[in-house]
Amino acid sequence: MPSSEPRFPLFSYKNLTPIVSLAVERYTEELCENSGIDVAIEWFLMHPRYTEAEFLTGMTALEHLIHVFVKKNPEGGIFTGDIFKEVVRPRLKAALDEVFQSLQNTVPKEEEVQEVLSQRLGMLNQRSLQTNLRTLLTHCAVPVLGIEKEIPSLIKLRNEIVHRGHKAESGLPQPLSYYTAVLRELLTRIFLSLLQYRDEYQSYLNGPEWKKFPPTEE
């Protein structure tokens, strides 16, 4: 498909050696399947008109990476899938059925309530988005120097925009554009970590400025 105009490029057009090397040597079908980096990059490169939409496309890229990670790694669930499906969930379902039997038709819309609760049993084996994100960052050795304290705010702001439609209610100390830049930097670092990149890249967190990857205190 045709590419769009570059925005926030990580490398200089005067020296494409780093990106060509990564594309040829590191960007493989296996990496795409195991990490979801291909779909995440597509969302990352979209150019929405509004900052709220730009933030949400970035979060969609991040959540896709988390989704693939949870599917591919046992750290994604509290129990392994087999144990939860074959041992834990049946016992939880039996206990739930016993509760409704003891209530003896005293709950309004009992069948509907029981069905909803039964469907939600599977969610008990899911860790929070925040926890899965931190596990992903640790597993992939993604450096979070300089942005670690802002990561919880990304999830909070995402929930504010998606569920309430208004970021002003978030109570966060910085404007939306700042957290969009933090999110862009976080995704950049995830991509470069997955590609095992070790060299300079252009960061837009406080920039643009050239930084070493992984970032250092300097």
Burial class, 192, CB count within 10 angstroms (exposed 0-12 / middle 13-18 / buried 19+)? buried
Q: What six digits make up the tokens of 162?
A: 């998606």
**pLDDT tens-digit map of 92-119:** 989 988 888 887 777 777 778 888 888 8
Cα 7 from Cα 46, distance rounded (Å): 10
pTM: 0.83
Q: CA 112, 113, 117, 120 torsion: positive or negative?
A: positive
**pLDDT tens-digit map of 11-70:** 888 888 888 989 999 999 999 999 999 999 999 998 888 999 999 999 999 999 999 998
Cα 56 from Cα 156, distance rounded (Å): 12
Q: Domain ranges in the chain?
A: 17-76+128-212, 81-125
Question: Pick from 67, 209, 87: which is nearest to 146 by CA?
Answer: 209
